[in-house]
Structure formats: C-alpha cells, structure tokens
Amino acid sequence: MRCADGSFYTGWTLDPHRREQQHNQGRGAKYTRLHRPVKLVYVEEQPDLSSALKREKAIKKLSHQQKEKMALGWQDKMEISFADLTVVSPGRVNLLGEHVDYNDGLVFPAAIDREVTIRVGKRMDDVVYLRALDLGEEVSFSVNTLDQKIDIDGQPLPTWALYPAGVAWVLLQHGLRVSGMEAEFTSNLPMGAGLSSSAALEVGFAVVWEVLGDWDLDRMTLARYAQAAEVQYVGLNCGLMDQFACANGVAGHALVLDIRSLQWRPVPLPAGYKIVIANSMVKHELVGSEYNTRHQECNEAVEIFQHHLPEVHSLRDVSLQQLLTLQAEFPENVFKRARHVISEIGRVQQAVQVLEAGEVKAFGELMYATHASLRDDYAVSCREIDILVEIAAGLPGCVGARLTGGGFGGCTVNLVREEAVAEFTRELKQQYLERTGISAAIFPCQAANGAHVI
C-alpha cells in the first residue's frame, strides 16, 4: 500500500481490499495510522501462509523505485481485469403515468441516454468489492452475510451499497448463482432527481450477475427481481415502472406498460421533438419520506371502496364517477390521492391514442394536466418544480411540461420542438435562476435501449 507520504507499506492478508479499509480506519500498523490515507497499489497471490511471509520479506528489501515499478505494472493489470465486463444501465424519464404503478395502473416511461456504467472483474470467492467512483467510497461484503446487511468488518452497509447488495440477496432467494466480484461504477445520472438512478443501479448489477453466473432471465423477470430488492431489502415501496424501463428500453420509443397484466409495447416518439430534462437541483430522499405515506393513502382509499364495492382490488378498478359518488366517505387527502390515480390512468390511455394519431399538442396538454394533478391532488410537487413548469409553458417550442419522478424536488420533463431546444434551454435556465437563485441543470436527451453489456 502507498501511504500519504509516498512511502510503501507491505504486509500479508487474506483480503487486500478489506485490509486497505482497516488501515484507512486507523486499525492497521502504527506507520499507516500516522500516514493515512493509504491506497492499495499492488497485490500478489501466494499458495500458502509460509510462502506469503517469505515474499513479504523479499518485497520489503526492494528499493522504493523497484516498488514503484511493481505498483505501476499491477495497476495496468487491474485496468484489464476491471474490463472483463462492462454493463451500461440507463435511467428513465416517465412521460405520463406518475404514482400509478403501485396502483395497478398504466405507465408511459422511456429509458434515456443517461446511465450507470459498471466495470467488473470476477473473483473466485464470495466477496463483493464495490467502488462508487462518484462518491469516493468503497465497501466489501460477503454474499453469505447479505441477510445481516453488513460489510466484511461487521459494520452496516452504506445506503448506496444496499441497492446492489439487495439485488444479490433477491437473486439468491430465487436459487440463482451470485459470484464474488470487484466492481467500480460511475453515473451521469443525478442522484435523487427522479430519473431512477437507484433502479438503473439495481438493473445494471442484475445484468452483471446474470453474465457472471451464466444464467438467463427474461427482462421482465429481471426487472421484478430488481424491484424486489428495493422493496424488500432497501425498504422503499416502489412500483415496477422504474426497473421495467431501465431493463426494457427501446431507442426512440416510450413504453406503455400495463402494471396489472405486465403487457407492454413500444410507442414511437414524435419526430422533430426532443425530451428536455430540467433538474431543479432540489434533491429528495424517498426512503422514509412522503412517498411511503402516499402508498398508504392509496391503500386506505381501496379499503374504503371495498366496503361498498367488494370487487375492487386496486384503484385501477374504480371510475371517477364511482369516486365522486362516494366522496363523502373519504378523508379529503385520501379522496384527492385517489382522484389523481384514477384520472392519471385515463390520461395514459389518451396519451397513447393521441401520439399514435400524431397529435403532439394534445399529448402536451395531457402533460400539463398531469402536473396540475400531481401538484394539487397528490401534493408531491414543490415551489421550484412549479416555477420550472410555469416558465417552460411560456417558452416558444414547448408543447408540454410536468414534474417527473417521485416528486418533492427532482426534475421536470419537457417536450420541445427540436429547433427550439437551444433557446428553450437558455431561457429556462436564466429565468429559473432569476426567480429562485438556483442554477438548474438542463439537458436534452433521447429514448435509449435498456441495460446491456458493451
């Protein structure tokens, strides 16, 4: 290991990455405690402890220059090993059908050309070593202790590591082989912005283990396993839409998915228009937030309906007229949540029809209607998001704008004429800055293919 002062520390261990973590936590030799942080720069395997001790002594006798040469050579080899497998897993934007996927509804997402990239080298043991390059963090855990959600040292896994660990846990529950590996990942998806960075990570690692384990799943099953990881392991009551879109994306198309039947088909997006994402830079953390509360409110609405209509199993089974007839039975907030879900399912059905008929303006009006419903009935918008939509609606070339994702911040999705995108981006950014003091991140994107090996 190279110490902070440029010197080298040499020792033997059964798990180099774990030992590196221990030294950086001050649980190593006195010298490394005084010269942290340290970085693992050379590893050499030996057949037994006796051989390892002899080799340790030999390396300690080498000059600093000789050790530098060894370290450089090992780094070159590591680059090759990490390139054993590279998987790209896209984020997604939902054009319509927000907060209905956990209500058996219809959704209309598209995978986008912003993604998580995972580079992997296979290990021969049960240890998974992960390096989150964008966070500057790393962790190692055993696939044999996934139930405990702990790392190699018995410490709780960091939040970001729960997503790939959860995928491994679900795969094992279904009898699939999960091997050890060394993986590093990076992303150009903003975290907590409603573009499904977590689902992209889950689906990406599911594809990684599928390749390493030499087993084969259809993409819908893979998406369901990734969703189960988030619900059962991470603890977020998400629907299937995010993982579905990340796994099944089709370039140039949105995907209309019936959550109840799991039937879906791609729908071509209109030529001459771009999807423009505007990140409000107001970030949200969904676990433990209002997201789960909305889920509970929808369940409460179903229970109220069942007292009068026993055949109702979800809000998908109810019409707006039935809701209005029973309005007096509902607490006001529960009534509003149900009204959003029921009307939103209808908007998705209309959206597919108008797009296939080439009526782009009508599709844009449905986007605006969805935003109003999310703001007023589902109460998941916020001041900054509302300002972005208001500004966009007044700019030339924009036919539709709305909140996308879970809400409470995050992003808007805008449908903009291709020739107007540059001016739209400049004006939206400038006017948003003037009204909020926040510099939004705005980028055009296009519908992309689902997670795949490159």
Q: Can the peptide bond before residue 37 be classed as cis, meaning omega within 30 degrees of 0?
A: yes
Backbone dihedral angles phi then psi of residue 107, each to the nearest 5 degrees: -125, 160
Separation between Cα atoms, residue 171 and residue 238, nearest integer Å = 18
- Beta-sheet strands, E only, within 32-164: 85-96, 106-122, 127-132, 137-142
**How do beta strands 273-279 and 411-417 pair?**
antiparallel
| Maximum Cα–Cα distance across the chain | 86
Separation between Cα atoms, residue 372 and residue 340, nearest integer Å = 10
Separation between Cα atoms, residue 17 and residue 357, nearest integer Å = 57
Provide CB contacts within 8 A for 403, sequence distance 6+: 98, 194, 371, 374, 375, 380, 381, 385, 389, 410, 411, 412
> Which helix (H) or strand (E) element contains residue 198?
helix 197-213
Separation between Cα atoms, residue 106 and residue 258, nearest integer Å = 5
Is 258 designated active site? Answer: no
Separation between Cα atoms, residue 155 and residue 92, nearest integer Å = 33
- Beta-sheet strands, E only, within 303-390: none
- CA nearest to 130, candidates 169, 183, 197: 183
Query: Roughly what angle, to the nearest 10 degrees, separates helices 241-248 and 197-213?
Result: 50
Q: Which of 101, 151, 242, 377 is catalytic?
A: 242
> Which helix (H) or strand (E) element contains residue 77?
helix 64-82
Question: Where in the sequence numbering do the catalytic residues fall?
Answer: 242
